A and B are shown apart, each in its own frame.
Chain A
Amino acid sequence: MKYARLVAIGILVAVAAACLLANFLAPAPYAHQYREIPDASPSHQHLLGTDDLGRDRFSRLLYGTRVSLLLAPAAALLSSLLAGLIGGIAGFAGGRTERMVMAATDLFLSLPWLFLLITVRAVLPLNVAPLTSVIITFALLGCLGWAGAARVICADARTFSQSDFLVQARATGSSGFRLLWRHLIPNLRPILFAQFWISIPVFILTEANLGILGLGVAEPLPSWGSLLRELESFSTVSTQPWQFVPLILFIVVVSSFHLVLTRQELPT
């Protein structure tokens, strides 16, 4: 397992480096349409061929990976912080506060995510640049994805608040904020960290789902969602197997995240 984890970390580092260096590695601008050669097969000029509008697939893969791989962790960080704040306070306070916050969390969890995202996306301003739209999409994912993690954190915070070391800290006269800041949060950090890692592949998948529905990142900016959309029609894809490369990369990256996560979950 240790070897597998090292390989996973290596893959993630390599993929992250490749997409961060996309400006140098990409053989063509990701949005440029080579209209004379749409749907071209792989060649020296276009390593993964061109898409249906004649755009270089390899360049789009690099930039799409950058979008998904940078913004999914950002969204995961946002949702983990929200989950830590809401779940931590609820668990620490206990009693009526906890019941009320958890009832609100349950209500939030029962909302159909996809429809909520579609609705929120629909009321946002239309005239926004593609980069803004992608940030909005991931910010939405971050704002809406805290509830499940908040439940876990609340349960742990409750356990800690009743633990001996916290009782001892109270007995020595520590105030509420000091208890929270010095004693509770440091102990919740591994759980928050685990929630953060769990959320990354979830958000990547959600963006991919939104992209497949055509509601993700706006054209011409690529993302894994928009790249995976090309696989909708298997009768067309079957003649162009190189279109599976984004899917393979997607599976490899998400699997690598899970392997790395196993390491984080181990007791330290």
Chain B
Amino acid sequence: MSDTKDTTPDRELIESVWAEARDLVKRLEGSTVQRFAVAAGDYKIEIERGAPAMAAGGAGISVPTPPPPPLPGGPVATGAGPGMSIAPGARMASGVFTIGDLEQQDKRIPVLAPLVGTFYSSAQPGAKPFVEVGTSVELGQTVCIVEAMKMMNEVATGEGGKVAEILVENGDWVEFEQVLMYLEPADD
């Protein structure tokens, strides 16, 4: 039986490459560098800045198409890996992802559902919500809970800021990477 192979990517490795790439994009702001790549192990992320497709000033992570053949014994990451934050509306088109939360004109930071489940705005029914519109939050602060199969999963922010908008109601079902709320960046 063929069925489906489990090509387990190294999550931590991908995330470290991803973090490095994001950092570089920020540091290269204003420079003339157009393309660079970050690689570690079997994983590689290629960044092309100011590509015509991203005329609004966005940076694109370009994934080579077709993807290189898998290295012996090692899968190749060519898309959104586990834990990678892809902005709403970002989709695979010719293997190019738009990183909406980097340089979008709308600089609001989306907080995404990490899994499928029920959204709860507070720790207990009737308790004070973790955050409301206008609440200032720090990096890593819990802003809500997504419950799946009676497991309470706290959702923490990836960046600090102020809650600008909450898009879901207490008790709503949410799917993976659904935008739960937007934060205004703290620097603004």
Partners in one complex: no
A-side interface residues toward B, CB under 8 Å?
none
